[in-house]
Amino acid sequence: MGAGRGVSISLDGVRDKNLMQLKKLNLALFPVRYNDKYYVDALASGEFTKLVLLLRASHDATVKPCLSDGLVMGNGLFAYARVSTNTPVYAFKDFAFRGFKLCASLPSSFYFSACALCLRLLLRITYVMSLFMISYYSDICVGAIACRLEKKEGGGQVRVYIMTLGVLAPYRGLGIGTKLLNHVLDLCSKQNISEVYLHVQTNNEDAINFYKKFGFEITETIQNYYTNITPPDCYVLTRYTASTTKK
């Protein structure tokens, strides 16, 4: 019986019971040590603070076709099927009928998933490039975004301050940071929040360029903002909606 590894990514809210995950992540990612107020603000922000969980799975890669009816089947907790993008539309409808949901797409193939225990899975082998069953899984926290909701002076409008956004080094370049930032920006759009801002160390060109791709711009330079790192200066990066007038 062969074994392999599969991964998927999900966002999870921060609560009292998993707050320690955010604390450990911050210790690994940042040279700054955050006080209790940081974590109080993160919890209070609700959906604006998220952890990224990487699902690690072991699977049985020896699922075999049933020769009598041209179907494949297997046992396990979950099943994933890799299907060519050239698969006819009616076959996708067949997958949906059997309880499969699209969970990922690549240039040459789609991945569908379903609960194997509930379905006793059957798929038409003609269109299935590979099928494997999840036998166990665990998740690890590999990144997070933490925000604070602030009321603007002189009014009841709210703006979002991104306190931290970070991803562990081995998992960078996978679009995780983009997923986290887009999550916050989408929430701002839905809630009519017109301003998002953050502080970035002046020599952190990678971070500055990353945020600029999402419409952030340098709106202020603060000297000696940091106390225990060099250089101590920071930029304020701000993103406004089109209807917001910068002051």
- Residues, the chain, total? 247
Instruction: Kindly give, in sequence order, each residue whose CB lies less than 8 Å from that of residue 206, ignoring residues fewer than 6 positions away.
Output: none
The β-bridge partners of 65 are 72
The Cα–Cα gap between 150 and 171 comes to 31
Catalytic residue among 34, 137, 183, 199: 199
Q: Taking Cα atoms as reference points, which of 137, 128, 140, 127 lies closest to residue 76?
A: 137
Q: Is 171 a catalytic residue?
A: no
Q: Is 199 a catalytic residue?
A: yes
Catalytic residue among 34, 127, 137, 161: 161
Decide: 42 and 49 in contact? Cβ < 8 Å: yes
Report, as residue numbers or ranges, the catalytic residues: 161, 199
